[in-house]
Amino acid sequence: MEIPIEKLKQQLENEKPNYEDFESCFYQLKNTQKELLNLIEYASDFQRPGDKTDEEKKFKDLHRRLAGANSTEVIENLKRKGYAYKKELGSSFENMGYRLLEQTRAGKRDDVYYGILRIFVANKMKFPDELVEAFKPIYSEEMFKVFIFSFLSGIIGKEQQNENNK
């Protein structure tokens, strides 16, 4: 997939930029970035377990750098996903909310994963891909906490009031 940067440059030179073309390029770039992140993750796992070669270390470092650049988007997606599930799962999460917050603070990834997964399974709902991303071991302990806190703030947080209700 080729991103049409040259086409965009040409539009600017002709002083006729087309918003739809720029937006399309933006989404192509985001999709390419996600695809590259997945490919790098797969390439870094090509080595045999325990065989830490320089090449594997380079791939893991590259993956960490790209994942770090991607983390802001992951945070926003998780918060939006939390708000989206609030109506259907809000009461289930409120029952376990403080436990999940405490487990997250303590860095208990397995317990947090199990608790959240259990809520989705009990409600016969698919576990969201955005949450799967939050639990990937490539992210630091601090980023894991930020991801989960973002999701939980959306699903168990107070409803956002509009300016007229203040």
Q: Is 49 helix (H, G, I), strand (E, B) or coil?
A: coil
What pLDDT does 166 receive? 42
What pLDDT does 33 receive? 84
Total structural domains in the chain?
1
Mean of pLDDT over the chain: 85
Between CA 65 and CA 81 the distance in angstroms is 24
- Kindly state whether residue 127 falls inside one of the protein's structural domains: yes
- Kindly state whether residue 117 falls inside one of the protein's structural domains: yes
- Over residues 160-166, the mean pLDDT reads 43
- Kindly state whether residue 58 falls inside one of the protein's structural domains: no
- Kindly state whether residue 62 falls inside one of the protein's structural domains: no
- Kindly state whether residue 34 falls inside one of the protein's structural domains: no
- Kindly state whether residue 88 falls inside one of the protein's structural domains: yes
Percent of the chain topping pLDDT 70: 89
Who wins on pLDDT, 139 or 81?
Answer: 81
What pLDDT does 50 receive? 59
Query: Which tokens is 146 given?
Result: 């930020």
Answer whether residue 132 shows pLDDT above 80: yes
Domain range for 130 is 76-158
* DSSP letter string, 120-161: HHHTT-PPPHHHHHHT-TTS-HHHHHHHHHHHHHHHHSPPPP
- Kindly state whether residue 69 falls inside one of the protein's structural domains: no
- Kindly state whether residue 46 falls inside one of the protein's structural domains: no
Q: Which pLDDT tens digit goes with each residue over 2-44?
A: 668 888 999 999 989 999 989 989 888 888 888 888 888 788 7
- Over residues 104-120, the mean pLDDT reads 95
Calculate Rg over the CA atoms of the chain: 20
What pLDDT does 161 receive? 41
This prediction has a pTM of 0.68
Q: Which pLDDT tens digit goes with each residue over 48-63?
A: 555 667 777 888 888 8
Who wins on pLDDT, 166 or 126?
Answer: 126
Q: Which of 88, 84, 93, 78 is nearest to 130 (CA)?
A: 78
